[in-house]
Structure formats: C-alpha cells, structure tokens
Structure 1
C-alpha cells in the first residue's frame, strides 16, 4: 500500500509540473527609446525564446541586428546587437544542433556597396561564431532562411537588376558558403520551404517594372537545383488585389498560401488562405476578417493537422492595429481567433508552435514599451489564451515626434502615428512634392500621449508625399509613397 501511495504521489507531482510548465503564457516587449522590431522567433531547449529583428536604440549606429534571449516566462536573459554604422536588419532565425542558431538578414555596413545578405551563426550565449555576406554590387536582401535536408540552407529574397527587383534564391552549405544562386522573373520572394521531394516551394510578391503590377497570389515550384518546375497565379480580375506572404506544404502534398485580399470578403482587406494540390491547382480558399483591414504575414502547420495564421487586424481588438491569430483545421475552417495588444498598434511577423503545444508570436508594439516601436512577444497556450499580461507605463520622450506611417508604400490608406509629452495644439498636414497642401488631417487641441489617424488617399495620384507635424513650436516630417 505504501509503495502504491508513493507511485501515485510521484505521478501526481509529474502531472502538476507538466501542467504548470504548459501554462506559461505572457506578453512582453523589448527595446529602447527608439525603434525596435521583432521579425522572427525560435524556442530554446529550456522553454525560453530567441527573438531577432533590428534596433535603432542600441548598437554601432544606424540599425543593427537585435537579438534577445528570454527565459520561459519572457524575462530577458541577454540582449545582443550585431552590425556596423549603417543599416543592418535581421529577418529570420533557424535553430541548429548543439544550441546554436543561424540568423539571416541584410547589411549595408559590410559586404559590397549596396545591401547584401548577411548570415551570422551564434551560440546559446549569443556569441557570434562566424558571419558571411552574400551579394553583388547590386542590392540583395534576405526575407527567409530555412535549413535543408543536406545540412545547408536555402534563402529567398530579392536582387536588384537595373533598378528593378527580381526574386532571388541562394543555396549554401552548413558554413554559409554559396553553392548556387538564381535570379528569376520580376518580383519579391517572400517565403520559401523545402518540399518532400527535395525541391522548394515559394510565394512571390509580383512586380512589373514596365507596366501595371499584377496583384495576384504567385506560387513557384523549384527542383533541388533551383530550376523552375512551374509557376502559377491565383486571383480575381482587377480591381481585386491578392498578395501572398507565406506558404507551407500540407500533409497531403499540396500547399497552403496565406496573405491578404482587397476587393471581397468582409470589407477593407482580409486574411486570405488558398489551398492547392501538389501540382499547384487551386482547391479552395477562405477569408477571415471584418469591415476594416486585416493582413496575414505568417503561417505554420500545427501538430493537430491544422494551421495557424498570423498578422494584424484593424477591425477587432482594442487598438488601431492588433496582433491577430486565426487557428484553423485542415480544411481551413476557423477553430478560434485571438487579438493581442493595447490601444495603439501591434503587428505579427512570425509565429511558432511551442514544445508544449502552445504558440509564440512576435512582431512590434506601439502601445507598450520604452519609446517608439518595441519588439513584442506573445506566448499563448494551445487555445491562444494569455493569462499573464505585462502592461508597463509608456514613455513619450522629451519632445513631440512624428512616427513613420504604416503601411508605406500604400495603395488606398495608411495610418499615421505621432506622440507628444504634453497636451497642446497639434497639426498634421499632407503636401505633394511641389509643396501643395492636399489634406489637413489634424488641427486641434490634443492630450499628451500617442495618437493615430487614418489617411485615405483615394483621389490622389501615385507618388511621393510629405506629412508635416507641428506641435509645441516644433516641426517634424516624414515621406510617404502612394503606389496604385
């Protein structure tokens, strides 16, 4: 009887420990007084996370790779920056064996004249083991990096040829040495995955330098040597716009694409997912969203056979934009949707399933943090629920400041943000490049804090515009680009 009691006690303790660990959820931010963004996240062996992105608050100057390792509860273990005096931006992270990580991005500090792809391998303590630049005298930028079955890496992004973007794929060995590169048609390679046959699948943001850009989902299948097997487009006729940002191979050998659609759905723009068979033939599509804007930037397969899509929503939640996660089954039917964030602006760029079946989402926040935008990490349980929320007081700096609008460039509308440490009369005016006033968005008394306004550009021609902000005898400006 005593032995049975001991066994039952041990089982109970193990179950309690497992339950407590699986319920570790939080929201947390990381950054300084300037701009930080989280681009990607990887779980560590101890249940913590490594977040990568870029910082303008710390480092050698300009922007630098920003890498934060956290404990399982989201508290910072260490923070590292990598880069030079110019612009260095981390876009993705891959977990390797032995507690190492590969970080991919692009650099203007090192390499040749224009931005080059930049790879850094780090150990568990954030020590850089080696770094490589990949590129030409033109502009090369990385969007995603994946580990391949041979131990090397596959990279997707862009290369600039004669001032126009072409989608660009690079294959390397495990040390980052280039094995081959391919430049394809005009466009931006947003996402890549290795497929079961040893080839690759990618989604492309189409780009037409000599005419009207085609706004459709584009799916491209490559063989193991990077040669194009097929390329297919999916979309309705203009003025409907579909843009894909993520893709995964499904368990049946087909593919699921995620992005946004403008022109049908609930209104504004909506999450759009599209399922194909193994040959790229469309099977079904689904939209998610409300009357305002929703855009999906990331997608993963989940262990239950379904999918998780992440991006932002302007319809639901408590702010202008909020983290927006949609969990579906294998048929694309919604199981749950969740929003996270404060009263201003949050946006998701990467999601991962955690070892206990929960989820981690990373991006940026304007609602919380030490200054401007900060990297923002949300860790949920398997139902997308967060039970511990960090909502620190926010500093607004010492002077009024106009922040960069998002999105930029934009088609029909964008959100302009600013902050002021004290109340007073505040004015926000839009000018064209000839100095002609085209819109006054704000001209009134405003309280101290952060403010946002949506700018509708319907009726304005494509091109560069200037936004001027006046408050407390200070003036600041940003440039915005309308592309139609």
Structure 2
C-alpha cells in the first residue's frame, strides 16, 4: 500500500479554497480553508481586504488540538465584527457545528459548538437586526437552524425535517429568517429545494417547493432592496441528467415572481448571488468544460431577469467561483479556488470585476 500512503501524503497539504465573501465597509472579508499552515490538518481561514489585495490581515482558526475545521460562511456584524460558521472535526471522523465571532482585527471574541457530534455542521450564517446570529446547516440528516445572541448565548435551535440540509439563509425584518434547503437528494440526479420562513421564535410559518415541477437545487439566497428574495442554483429538465443555471425571483413571502433558466450546450450552475441597488443581481458559479474541469463564470441580470452579460474566468485547470459580493463602488469581489495558477495544488482565488464584468485584478493564495 506504499502508493496509497504516497497519495495521502501528497494530498495532505497544498490545498486552499475560498467558500464565501461579504462586503465590509469599502472592502471585503473572505472565509475558506487551508491545510498548508498546519500540514495535514485542515483549518478555517479568514482574510480581510481593502478594495483589492494584499489582505489587511489573514488568520487561521482551529486545527490545533482538534481534528480540523472548515469555514463555510461569513456575515458582517455591527461594529465591523464578523460571524463565521462551519464545522469542527471530532473523534471518529464526524463533525459538529462550529460558530465563532471575530473582532475587526480578526481576534476571536467567542466560539461555540452547538448541537452534537455526527455528520453535522453549518453551511450558512446571517445577522438579524438586533445583532443576534442565525446559522443553518444539518444535524442528524435534517435541516437545522440555530439563533444566538451577540454574546454567544443560545436563544433557540430548531430542526426542519422537511429539508435535509440548509444551504442558505437571510435575515428579514422583525427578526424573521428566510431559510433555503434541499431535500429528496439523489446520487443520480438533483433533489428539490424548499424555502421556509421562520418567525423570531423559530416557528416555521410558510413553505414553498422549488421548482414547482421537476428537479432543481438552489445554493444561494439574497435579500433585494424592495424586501423580495433572489436565489440561484441549478435546474434539470425532465429526462436529462445535466443541469442549467437557474435564477428565481420571489416576493417577500416567498411566492415565485419569475424564473430564468439559461439553456444551451453548457452544463452550468449558480453558487452565490449578490443584489444591486436597482434590483438587479450578479451570480457566480461554474460551467463545465469538456465534462472534466470547470471554469468560473459570472452572470449579470437586470431587475426583470434579463441577462445583461456573462463572462468566464480562469485558465486550463479547474476553476470554481463560490462567492460574490457587491462592494460600495458597485464593483464585484469574487472568490473560489483554482488549479490553473498559484503556488499549490489548489489555491484560494479571488478577483475583482467592474459592474460590466471587466477583470480589475486577481490574486491567488496558497502553498506548495
């Protein structure tokens, strides 16, 4: 088994990726992971930028004394603090939900591991009007949402048996929460998505199935200036095993107003979405090239869903867009991972775009 040990050794370091991004004043904050700072141990990684690289600061979290950590989602809190959600490794190969808050300088103010050990963890985080934090993910194969006050005290947690995993959530007025999740997952095709509305005490008061017919999975959700919702993911037509980019515009209570599916020869999916003040939006995701590698792709839509432009980014390797944020000047910060450039096997990748899709700058971060 010498070759297997060699493969394991080679893959124990040199891999970095960004999982999410949030606008922060005139700059942006990125969350992801690295297994190079402490070789063989995966650690959550947060980088704080002004408008462009280099980062103002960057730190890793967890890993020391643990079996590894993952940073999956990030949200801005009052005063420039950051809420980060993900998962922490536990004995036996499982995970548990992990949530921590950082000062504007990147210092840990508090961290919590609610729930229990298993194949569990958080995938999404948002901040309510009163400064409390909601994080969503999975616990025991069911959707799971936790609410904590600004000091880290648990206010409530709820299981959502109608979904298997929370993929995204956003804060609504009056301490309510819109929760997006997947169910009916399959190894041979897509599942379906469900949008649930939670009241301030965690009670579910509304639910919509998406799509109304067929199969589709929505990966990201955002709040529009008028109080409506916008989501993106991938949709599969009946009889097809491939999928297309899917964007859904919803009213404040979750009713579908319009859908856009970009059909063509490419297999494409949306991974993150950010709104513009005029009600338009930008989506980042990927397009398969030759059914092997992916290329990062960004689409810009108007408020009525008309496609304004689309553009691919990356190189000859595998390039993935996982997060996007509109900055104060309407430029875009995009994050993900790349094997087309950089120092390592997979590098954390970030680049800036004008509102028309022109590449302003790009930078990779990683180790051999």
The residue number in structure 2 matching 1:327 is 300
2:5 aligns with none
Distance across 1 between alignment mates of 2:232 and 2:273: 7
Q: TM (normalized to structure 1)?
A: 0.66
Tell me what 1:155 maps to. Answer: 135
Matches within 5 A, 1:56-455: 56-59=35-38, 61-84=40-63, 85-108=66-89, 114-160=94-140, 165-185=141-161, 186-207=163-184, 215-235=191-211, 240-263=214-237, 268-288=242-262, 290-314=264-288, 320-389=293-362
* Bigger-Rg structure (1/2): 1
- Give the C-alpha shift of residue 305 in structure 1: 1.5
Does the CA contact (< 8 Å) of 2:85 and 2:125 recur in 1? Answer: yes
In 1, distance between residues paired with 2:100 and 2:183? 29
* Alpha carbons of structure 1 residues 383 and 109: separation in structure 2 relative to 1, 3 Å: same
Do 2:28 and 2:327's aligned partners in 1 also have CA atoms closer than 8 Å? no
Q: Tell me the alpha carbon deviations over residues 199-246 of structure 1, each in whole angstroms, 9 at most, x when there is no partner.
A: 21111111369x999822321122221111122213365xx5311112
Question: 1:284–1:315: structure 2 CA closer, same or farther, 3 Å change rule?
Answer: farther
Larger relative contact order (Cα-Cα within 8 Å, sequence gap ≥ 6): 2
How far did 1:354 drift?
Answer: 0.4
CA distance in 2, matches of 1:214, 1:313: 17
Compute the RMSD of aligned alpha carbons.
3.2
Paired residues of 2:192 and 2:216 also in contact (CA < 8 A) = yes
Q: CA deviation at 1:81?
A: 1.1
Query: Shift in Å at residue 337 of structure 1?
Result: 1.2
Q: In structure 2, how many angstroms separate the alpha carbons of the residues matched to 1:215 and 1:145?
A: 22
1:313-342 per-residue CA deviation (whole Å, 9 max, x = no partner) reads 1259xx931221111111111111122111
Query: Which blocks of at least 5 consecutive residues in structure 2 are unaligned?
Result: 1-11
Kept in 2, the 8 Å contact 1:104–1:145? The answer is yes
Aligned partners of 1:206 and 1:214 also within 8 Å: no
The equivalent of 2:8 in structure 1 is none
Query: For each residue in 1:383-428, what CA deviation from the matched residue of structure 2 results, as whole angstroms up to 9, or x when unmatched?
Result: 1211445589x99x7xxxxxxxxxxxxxxxxxxxxxxxxxxxxxxx
Aligned: 1:51 with 2:30: yes
Task: Show CA shifts across 1:98-133 (max 9, x none).
Answer: 3322222111259x9942222222223322222222
Greater displacement, 380-389 / 325-334: 380-389
CA distance in 1, matches of 2:56, 2:208: 45
Distance 1:49 1:252, change over 3 A: closer
| Structure 2 counterpart SS, 1:98 | helix
Q: CA deviation at 1:50?
A: 2.6
Runs of 4+ aligned residues of structure 1 deviating over 4 Å after TM superposition are 211-214, 264-267, 389-392
Would the aligned equivalents of 1:206 and 1:213 in 2 still touch at CA under 8 Å?
A: no
Q: Does structure 1 retain, via aligned residues, the 8 Å contact 2:353–2:361? A: no
Q: TM-score, normalised by structure 2?
A: 0.85
Report what 1:457 is aligned to: none
For structure 1, the 5+ residue unaligned runs are 1-31, 398-484
Shift of 1:72: 3.1
C-alpha contact 1:258 1:297 (8 A) present in aligned 2: yes
Check whether the contact 2:300–2:310 (CA below 8 A) recurs between aligned residues: yes
Q: Answer yes or no: is the 8 Å Cα contact 1:141–1:158 preserved in 2.
A: yes
Contact 1:266 1:290 in 2 (8 A): no
Structure 2 residue matching 1:321: 3-state secondary structure:
strand
Instruction: Kindly tell me the number of residue pairs found equivalent between the two proteins.
Output: 353
Aligned-residue offset at 1:294: 0.6
Q: 1:71 offset after TM fit, Å?
A: 4.4
| 1:67-113 per-position Cα deviation (integer Å, ceiling 9, x unaligned) | 22334331244331111241200011222333322222111259x99
1:34 aligns to 2:14 (yes or no): yes
